[in-house]
Structure 1
Amino acid sequence: MAKTSPPLGWLRTFESAGRNLSFTLAAEELRMTQSAVSQQIRSLESRLGCQLFLRKHRSVSLTDEGRRLLPDITQAISQLQSATAAFEQPEHADLLTVATSVSVAQWYLVPRLQQFMDLHPRARIRIMTTVWPDEFADVSADIQIRFGAKENQRHPEKALGRNRLILVASPQLFKKQKIAQLNINNINRFPLIQAVGTTDTWANCAGKFGLSGHQPPAINADSHGLAVDFAKAGAGVALTSELISLPALADGSLQRVHKKTLPAVNGYFMSITPHSPNPLAADFTDWLNAKVETLQAETA
């Protein structure tokens, strides 16, 4: 019985890791987790009966066997790609995968994504949402929109909008208490709302807004998007992200309680994943940045 060849996926993973001399870059290029790359390389080495990489603390290098194998595998994969290129359906290249925080999906993509689709009628989009930054570790996407501190971002990124904190509330709160305008002097008459999981809390920010002796927050939401939802429903005054508040400020369902803004420790950052082959990725990031800039101008 003829001996079968190793799975093509293992060989493709070896080629990428060998060309990049990095399991991390291979994982990004192939949209796999780094642990999956390591597992496939180990499986291939076991199948061939030889070691292909020398593992060091922060790097890898090819063994003599790996250097002999790499050119042939690279050539074979190139021939396979050339042979199948003419048969690929055009729309497959237009599948754009966006991994994003729930808040950005909720307040920006759901109401506006059709506008992008109208500009790119052949495009197909996959939206994957996360709440916490570490959930991006196992996500493969063309675009990532992450929430967190800038120094914790993995890829070269650009802040989406202005990373600032503001105080917002529904106009319904004014009517409920029969006051002309909600301001810092009467804010303690209302429940306070905040997003948890960050240091941008009422405890750390109230004094900077000029509020002393504030009550503990009545509502703790797991995202800025949810905090904005509560504020929009008239549940209280929210300390929240300016970016996520912009759509509700623009349509009048929220109002600023204070003109002052504070720089946020955590914000939203958008990046195109290195080695993403999708030409729509740049179009999407340009489109979303333009939408944010328009809302900023409308609510200035």
Structure 2
Amino acid sequence: MARPLPLQQIRAFDAAARWLSFSRAARELNVQQPAISRQVAALEAELGTRLFLRSKPSLTLTEDGRLLAKAVNAGFETIREAFAALQARQEDDTVMVSASIGFTSLYLLPRLAEFQAAFPEIKLQVMTRDQNEDFDVHSCDVVILFGEGGLSGTDSRLVFRETMIAVCHPDLLPDRTPFELAELAERKLLNLTSPDHRGDWNRYFAKAGITVPTPPAHDGYVSYMVYLRAIQNGLGIGIGWQPMMSEYLANRTLVRACHHQCTTTRGYFCSITPQGEEKPGSEQFRDWIGQSLSEPS
């Protein structure tokens, strides 16, 4: 086990090294000059080396003294930075929410004014994390995840279950009539290639016993927002999620390509991270979004 550091001696040395004066160090630390001299002498005895040349009119650091002063200064600077960061966290009550760009754009942002009207005292900052492999969910206060459940070990709220629908540009329906399932399977289907959504079409067709072939690379998209734009541009038929498609279907930017829909056990879950537990606004946001399954105003 490492020996405890002689913190009082180090503190006296640090002040003396910065001022190159025992007297001025004593004034800074509000002690008598002999106390500083004794602490520095004790530290020199502990280390077995001289740290100062006691010259006049000021002290001079020895080579060992300069080495120690540099290390002590760096250590104290690290401590000061940690203090500042911790104080900033306590003073900053902004709730950091992390979600995918698709969920943020299509579900959260259209409803955010409702939250701000209900909780004007809560400052909210939304950050997206798509394609960020190094993202740490614990770096935010609230995280919205897609899958079978929320963040492990937290009290999470279901926002909504996954309900997949087939959507396309209106011009891809020749007589404005949605396709039957078997007919839909023969059309050009666009695919998301992210791990969560790689098999979406097979999930969609599963109850009908239809299996679709692996799509060619040029019909696959990593980003949901690029995927959505491809669907809107009539490049093929894609998967959409309710209720995130409500606005597009209402203004007929997109239409249902088939009446069939598929609800799975997956969904969007809202969780509070250990960091977010210290902010009351985190719980209010989680509870609000867990009850916010309504059309945006």
CA apart distance, 1:179:
4.5
Check the 8 A contact 1:158/1:271 in 2, yes or no. Answer: yes
After superposition, give the CA deviation of every residue in 1:7-47 in whole Å (9 maximum; x if it has no partner).
xxxxxxxxxxxxxxxxxxxxxxxxxxxxxxxxxxxxxxxxx
Q: SS in structure 1 opposite 2:258?
A: coil
Query: Is 2:220 the counterpart of 1:220?
Result: yes
Q: Distance in 2 between matches of 1:223 and 1:139?
A: 23
CA apart distance, 1:224:
4.2
Query: Is 2:271 the counterpart of 1:271?
Result: yes
Q: Distance in 1 between matches of 2:171 and 2:186?
A: 14
CA apart distance, 1:98:
0.3
Please give the TM-score of this superposition, normalised by the length of structure 2.
0.56
Residue type of the alignment partner of 1:113: L
Q: Distance in 1 between matches of 2:133 and 2:155?
A: 17
Residue 194 of structure 1, aligned match among 188, 191, 200: 191
Measured at CA, do residues 215 and 151 of structure 1 come closer, stay the same or move farther in structure 2, by a change above 3 Å? Answer: same
Measured at CA, do residues 125 and 257 of structure 1 come closer, stay the same or move farther in structure 2, by a change above 3 Å? Answer: same
Q: Distance in 2 between matches of 1:159 and 1:135?
A: 25
CA apart distance, 1:154:
5.2
After superposition, give the CA deviation of every residue in 1:145-166 in whole Å (9 maximum; x if it has no partner).
0123438745332332112322
**2:237 aligned residue:** 237
CA apart distance, 1:233:
3.3
Q: Distance in 2 between matches of 1:167 and 1:261?
A: 7
**2:34 aligned residue:** none
> How many residues are matched?
212
Residue type of the alignment partner of 1:3: I
Check the 8 A contact 1:184/1:257 in 2, yes or no. Answer: no
Of the structure 1 ranges 139-148 and 274-283, higher mean CA displacement relative to structure 2 is found in 274-283
CA apart distance, 1:209:
4.4
Q: Distance in 2 between matches of 1:193 and 1:135?
A: 28
CA apart distance, 1:136:
4.5
Larger Rg: 2
Q: Distance in 2 between matches of 1:282 and 1:151?
A: 14
Please give the TM-score of this superposition, normalised by the length of structure 1.
0.56
Check the 8 A contact 1:164/1:263 in 2, yes or no. Answer: yes
Q: Distance in 2 between matches of 1:152 and 1:138?
A: 9
**2:156 aligned residue:** 157
* Structure 2 runs not aligned, ≥5 long: 1-7, 13-82
CA apart distance, 1:192:
0.9
**2:295 aligned residue:** 295
* Structure 1 runs not aligned, ≥5 long: 6-79
Measured at CA, do residues 232 and 287 of structure 1 come closer, stay the same or move farther in structure 2, by a change above 3 Å? Answer: farther
